[in-house]
Amino acid sequence: MSEILWQPHPERIANSNLRRFIDCLVARRALTLSDYESLYRWSIAEPDAFWFEVAHFTDVRADWADAPVLRNGSRMPGAEWFPSARLNFAENLLRYHDDHPALIAHDERGQRRVLSYRQLHAEVARIASALREAGVSSGDRVAAFMPNIPETVIAMLAATSLGAVWTSCSPDFGIAGVLDRFGQVAPKVLFTADGYRYAGKICDSLQPIAAVLAELPSVTHVIVTGHLTAEPEVDVLAAASRLALRFDRCGTPAARAPFTRLPFDHPLYVMYSSGTTGKPKCIVHGAGGTLLQHLKEHQLHVDLKRDDRLFFYTTCGWMMWNWLVSGLASGAALVLYDGSPTHPEIDTLWRIAEHEHISIFGCSPRYLSSLEKAGYHPHRHVNLPALRSLLSTGSPLAPEGFDFVYRQIKSDLQLASISGGTDIISCFALGNPLLPVRRGEIQSAGLGMAVEIVDDTGQRLPEGEKGELVCRQAFPSMPLGFWGDADGARYRAAYFERFPGSWHHGDYANRTPAGGFVIHGRSDAVLNPGGVRIGTAEIYRQVETLPEILESLCIAQDWQSDVRIVLFVRLAPGIELDASLQQRIKQTIRDNTSPRHVPAVILSVPDIPRTISGKIVELAVRNVVHGRAVTNLEALANPEALEFFRNRVELA
């Protein structure tokens, strides 16, 4: 088994929400549950009872009918959760109405804003009235082209309080990328800021949005937030058939937001796939399933409580923003940050963590790696007595990343590597406050998530063997479907055709002897030289231990009736990819993995292409290397980087 890096203290276990949940089940249902494993087995064996108890324990506000929890439970897709219940998502996030901090917002300039739950509720009520005046009703789409600021949270809650469907992307998306997304769902109202700041640069949003609106006839009202200036020039967005309003001047003050209770599976969010091989899929998530799954993950797996301060570095175009905002349902204070995580200094986020007493800090493995490569060790510069959990997601966290956290950030926190995705707006595998943290492992499968690792025929694999990650049972946060996919054909093809009756997630993974998981990368990017399947993360975690390598990307190139591994590396300043460094890269991979993992070709590139949410795009690079088109460059944060790969590898 892997080395244990952290063990929960008995007092922490006893005071955890998860321990209280187990005790409640024992008392309410006379169950014999002693630990997480027995609870997990019960959650899979009795899914309807489990999810009912989650709703009860987390105090979901709803009209509960005396009806079955699960209908068509044996069908996937097709299962219906709480088919007779009615609720409102925003009502559950705004259950508190007091002076406790709800949103604490920071930006690159060092400015700080705080909204209490009372103030947040009042602002949501005001903007909801503006949306009603704009003709928004249940089922209408409301879109946002916004930075990660309080106004974005307010707008989302106002829209969903009316039963409208919320969709958003971050303001660094290009015009075509915005149209590829919003053009498919035809929003009635669009929220935008006048601009945003990133890495010290001021970026205008009004001109891009003017171009977007010219192609979006469905939009009748634009509501503009003055983020860069107190007097945004809203007239630039006005047109004969469209009204442009200022966020701070629209709507009518109201005592309470109009929480419209709707069916459990009423559409809440439209999320988007990365869309690097075509127009992004518009993934529709339901209100009840999203709420229940997030409450389960926050309270039982993250151990989120009212006095916590929860932070995750994210943009409004990544599902972790939606996940973060749901923390309001637990009454916690959310810490928002807008801008570059390393501007004006590399320690920006850690100074905020120290000042705000952040107890749960979320980021990506790439961010942690950038700290390590820069030689910045938070424990030497900031005091973090409140910090008890660090969450990491976006890509697999290498064992060396675990080492960095425990050696250079804090030795007595719970490091929770988590894995799921936009497709389920939640996690399949994540942290667990009752279990130890083992080096390089995700602690456990999520409660109620029947996760297995299977071979190409769908047969379950034993511990340690790598295969496809699937989920054998329905769960509440499964998408309702794809927008515009009337017969569900695209939805079924995306997740259920490969292994009928199971959700196929597309991760290449293995289960560990301790019951945890290791994710080796996306299965559609798995390398297969000589018929041996190799996860790209296995190579990255070795290559990036070398101080000369800032980051890397590898692909399988078709070669002489087989494939060969080609590795691209971005080097630290002043470093050259000479024969000596190439040999050390190969030897590091050989010594720590196998000879099969050693790349046939190693090439240096000045940049690695990524999606706007920060994920490297192996498939796009593979297409470029093979002379195939990449059809949606707007999905990339740095599409120009693909040019470095074109014609770099001989195809003869």
State the CB neighbour count (10 A cutoff) for residue 407: 13
Q: What is the DSSP string of 85-117?
A: -EE-HHHHHT---SSSEEEEEEETT--EEEEEH
Buried b (16+ CB within 10 A) or exposed e, 581-600: bbeebbebbeeeeeeebbbe
What whole-number distance in Å separates Cα of residue 314 and Cα of residue 320? 6
Mean pLDDT of the chain: 93
> For 60-113, how does the pLDDT look when each residue is reduced to its tens digit (9 = 90+)?
999 998 889 999 887 889 999 999 999 999 999 999 999 999 999 999 999 999
> For 191-238, how does the pLDDT look when each residue is reduced to its tens digit (9 = 90+)?
999 999 999 999 999 999 999 999 999 999 999 999 999 999 898 898
Asked if the 526-644 domain carries CATH number 3.30.300.30, the reply is yes
What whole-number distance in Å separates Cα of residue 293 and Cα of residue 54? 9
Residue 255: per-residue pLDDT? 82
Q: Report the candidate in 447, 413, 431 with the shortest Cα–Cα distance to residue 8.
A: 413
Q: Report the candidate in 83, 1, 89, 18 with the shortest Cα–Cα distance to residue 54.
A: 18
Q: Where are the domains of the chain?
A: 111-263, 526-644
Phi, psi of 601 (to 5 degrees): -135, 135
DSSP, collapsed to helix, strand or coil, labels residue 8 as coil
Residue 619: per-residue pLDDT? 86
What whole-number distance in Å separates Cα of residue 302 and Cα of residue 295? 10
Is the Cβ–Cβ distance between 230 and 247 less than 8 Å?
no
Residue 652: per-residue pLDDT? 33
CA distances to 6, 381, 388, 403, 577 from 411, rounded to whole Å, are 8, 15, 10, 10, 35
Residue 276: per-residue pLDDT? 57
Angle between helices 206-213 and 175-185 (to 10 degrees): 40
* Residue 370 reports pLDDT greater than 70: yes
Residue 35: per-residue pLDDT? 94
Residue 528: per-residue pLDDT? 77
* Residue 284 reports pLDDT greater than 70: yes
For residues 404, 410, 413, 414, the Cα torsion angle rounded to the nearest 10 degrees is -10
CA distances to 126, 221, 326 from 146, rounded to whole Å, are 19, 15, 18
What average pLDDT does range 281-296 have in this prediction?
Answer: 97
β 282-286/262-263 pair status? unpaired
CA distances to 210, 301, 456, 474, 556 from 74, rounded to whole Å, are 48, 26, 23, 8, 38
> For 473-531, how does the pLDDT look when each residue is reduced to its tens digit (9 = 90+)?
999 999 999 999 999 999 999 999 999 999 999 999 999 999 999 999 888 887 878 76
Residue 649: per-residue pLDDT? 63
What whole-number distance in Å separates Cα of residue 216 and Cα of residue 634? 17
Which residues have CB under 8 Å from 375's CB, separation 6+? none
Confidence of residue 644 (pLDDT cuts 50, 70, 90): confident
Percentage of the residues of the chain whose pLDDT score is greater than 70: 98
Q: How many residues does the chain have?
A: 652
What whole-number distance in Å separates Cα of residue 598 and Cα of residue 325? 42
Q: How is the beta sheet containing 451-454 ordered, strand by strand?
A: 451-454, 467-471, 503-511, 517-522
Count of CA atoms in the C-beta half-sphere (13 A) of 141:
20
Residue 160: per-residue pLDDT? 98
Angle between helices 17-29 and 36-45 (to 10 degrees): 60
Q: How much of the chain is helix, strand and coil, in % rounded to 5?
A: 35, 25, 40
Topology of the domain covering 111-263: Rossmann fold (3.40.50)
Count of CA atoms in the C-beta half-sphere (13 A) of 372:
25
| The token pair that represents 107 in the structure block | 């930006």
In degrees, to the nearest 5, what angle opens at C-alpha 354 toward C-alphas 349 and 358? 80
Q: What is the DSSP string of 151-171?
A: HHHHHHHHHHHTTPEEEEE-T
Is the Cβ–Cβ distance between 258 and 132 less than 8 Å?
yes
At position 416, the amino acid (one-letter code) is: A
Residue 651: per-residue pLDDT? 43
What average pLDDT does range 287-311 have in this prediction?
Answer: 98
Phi, psi of 613 (to 5 degrees): -85, 5
> For 462-487, how does the pLDDT look when each residue is reduced to its tens digit (9 = 90+)?
999 999 999 999 999 999 999 999 99
The CA-to-CA distance between both ends of the chain, in Å, stands at 45
Percentage of the residues of the chain whose pLDDT score is greater than 90: 79
What average pLDDT does range 622-646 have in this prediction?
Answer: 82
